[in-house]
Structure 1
Amino acid sequence: MIDYKGKVALVTGGASGIGEALAKQLSERGAHVIVADKQADLAKEVAARLPHPGLALPCDLSEPDAPAALVKDAFGWKGQLDLICANAGFGRRKKMMEEDFGADAMTLFAVNMFAPFRIAQAYGAGLAGSGARGRLMITGSENSLSLPQAVRRSRLGAYGASKHGVLIMAEWLKEELGGDLMDVHVLMPGAVYTPLISRNLPDPKDLPPDMGVIMPDRCAEIALKGLDLGLFYIPTHAHIGDDIRPRFDGVQDALTQLGLL
């Protein structure tokens, strides 16, 4: 188990949902936690409620220069930065035949896909030559791996693409680092009871059992266990493995029909 006592952790999207739960559990394990979020007032509230009062930093990660500025401020707090949970993100519902790929869609990709790797670049620059080793966990999604059965009518094409991008870019990042500077992990949550779901179902008791929704605290618990185990892929639901199967089987079938097997 990782000892977080005296360590500094930055959690983006830390004012609610998975990010808030990660901040709380990291603080419970002894970390000094920086809660970064576009919702500045809410971030302050979360930081103040942590077992070890943390620091709130307002940050709009859709701005290209924001990730580097955030990492610089995070390093400046206590002179170290041991863990970054690049968790900020949001969803978008639009049929692919109706997707305009306008400003809103570009913001989706800026926050969900590009910001974590701008953070990684700034983090790597801050660690270089310091002798310190970092740890980066990027929040992807079950949509990083497949088109999950449970969301096939949810019009999540652009969102799914952004989360697919997170996974392959993280795989390239890990490969290119070659074990230097930082450990890289990808959290891949299934359905989690975040504001995206709670807006429509305010009472968790009303959640249909077949949705398989877990609470943010449970997601954070799995995430930190994945870090403890040194896992690169950190899925949160058993069905995620089954959801990958149709893609694998489809490729295998195509290879067979093409006479390549």
Structure 2
Amino acid sequence: MNRFEGRVAVVTGGAGGIGEAVVRGLHREGACVVIADVQEDAGRALSAELGSRALFVHTDVAAEQEVAAAVDTAVGAFGRLDVMFNNAGVMGVLGPIDRTPMAEVDTTIAINLRGVVCGFKHAARVMKPQRSGVIISTSSPGGMLGGVGPHVYSATKAAVVGLSNSVAAELRPFGIRVNTIVPGAVVTPMTATVVADGAHDIGGAEQALGASALMDRALRPSDVAAGVLYLASDDAAYVTGVALPVDAGMTGVHGSSPYTSGRYADPVTLLEAGRIRAAD
């Protein structure tokens, strides 16, 4: 498939994890890609591996001028910007709310939310005159459900959905689509730090996440990338203002149905005052 032939993308947090999977997918399908990340070695190595259609730009998304520079690099090197993937993010500050250091709250918000605002701002300044483009941002089930993410992280991920939908309303008349991807717990170095023996222990993360997975295996970056590439492509030409979960139903399917097994393995009809009638 060459869904992105002749198109140009910027992927923040593109040197590893979900971002790297999206960079590889876009590149494989014909796009020119700017890898925008703070991870110098990984970013440069990925750019060198992919060749002339991939450039690395050191980008701290909390610094607006660096986000602007990533967008300007895409336009300067490749002539346009068709896809902006606001993906860079961190778990940020963890711990009890009554002991949370406000300086670390500010850091988490600066990366996870302010960085997304910067991505929208600088993608829109290019895409509006173009009258085309797609902007996708990464949220989390933590932004929709309590108890599945750290406090401030969850707040920022909820804000990403609200921000995306608001910007979608502004940019729709310009032919620009704006959507959100909502991945469950993914096998990445950041997740491995939390659930396994450190960022290097990807196998341990896959085993740990697989043990609690709602489907038959752990969620992988390539699974999330497939959703992002769909939203970025013309296959989703009429899709905007959507938050697409890639989480085995975590945010939409609370659990197994209690009404299809056990005492309800054979169909019955529940009527007034608790009267039960066997189904024909």
TM-score surpassing 0.5?
Answer: yes
Could you report, residue by residue, the CA deviation over 1:26-80 in whole angstroms, capped at 9, with x for unpaired residues? Answer: 1111111111100122101112223764111111112233222222222111111
Cα distance change on mapping 1:178 and 1:206 into 2, 3 Å: closer
**Over the residues paired in the alignment, what is the CA RMSD in angstroms?**
2.2
- Other-structure match for 1:87: 87
Whole-angstrom CA distance in 2 between matches of 1:178 and 1:38: 31
Tell me whether 217-226 or 45-54 shows the greater mean CA deviation: 45-54
Query: Structure 2 residue aligned with 1:236, among 246, 249, 256?
Result: 246
- Other-structure match for 2:222: 217
8 A Cα contact 1:9 1:32, kept in partner: yes
* Structure 1 spans left out of the alignment, 5+ residues: 244-261
- Other-structure match for 1:187: 181
Q: How does 1:56-135 map to 2 (within 5 A)?
A: 56-92=56-92, 93-102=94-103, 104-129=104-129, 131-135=130-134
Number of matched pairs:
237
Letter of the 1:47 partner, please give it: S
For residue 135 of structure 1, report the CA deviation from its aligned partner.
Answer: 0.7
For residue 170 of structure 1, report the CA deviation from its aligned partner.
Answer: 0.9
Letter of the 1:78 partner, please give it: F
Could you report, residue by residue, the CA deviation over 1:131-187 in whole angstroms, capped at 9, with x for unpaired residues? Answer: 341110111111222225xx3xx6x00110111111111111112224325110101
Whole-angstrom CA distance in 1 between matches of 2:4 and 2:191: 31
For residue 224 of structure 1, report the CA deviation from its aligned partner.
Answer: 1.7
TM-score, normalised by the number of residues in structure 1: 0.83
8 A Cα contact 1:27 1:52, kept in partner: no
Identity %: 27
Helix, strand or coil at the partner of 2:174: coil
Q: How does 1:191-202 map to 2 (within 5 A)?
A: 191-199=185-193, 200-201=196-197, 202=201
Q: How does 1:40-55 map to 2 (within 5 A)?
A: 40-50=40-50, 53-55=53-55
Helix, strand or coil at the partner of 2:102: coil
8 A Cα contact 2:34 2:70, kept in partner: no
- Other-structure match for 2:142: 143
8 A Cα contact 1:142 1:188, kept in partner: yes
Greater length-normalized contact order (CA 8 Å, ≥ 6 residues apart): 1
Letter of the 2:228 partner, please give it: A
For residue 3 of structure 1, report the CA deviation from its aligned partner.
Answer: 2.1
Whole-angstrom CA distance in 2 between matches of 1:69 and 1:52: 19
8 A Cα contact 1:23 1:50, kept in partner: no
Cα distance change on mapping 1:83 and 1:178 into 2, 3 Å: closer
* Structure 2 spans left out of the alignment, 5+ residues: 255-280
8 A Cα contact 1:96 1:158, kept in partner: no
Whole-angstrom CA distance in 2 between matches of 1:225 and 1:178: 18
Helix, strand or coil at the partner of 1:35: strand
8 A Cα contact 1:24 1:51, kept in partner: no
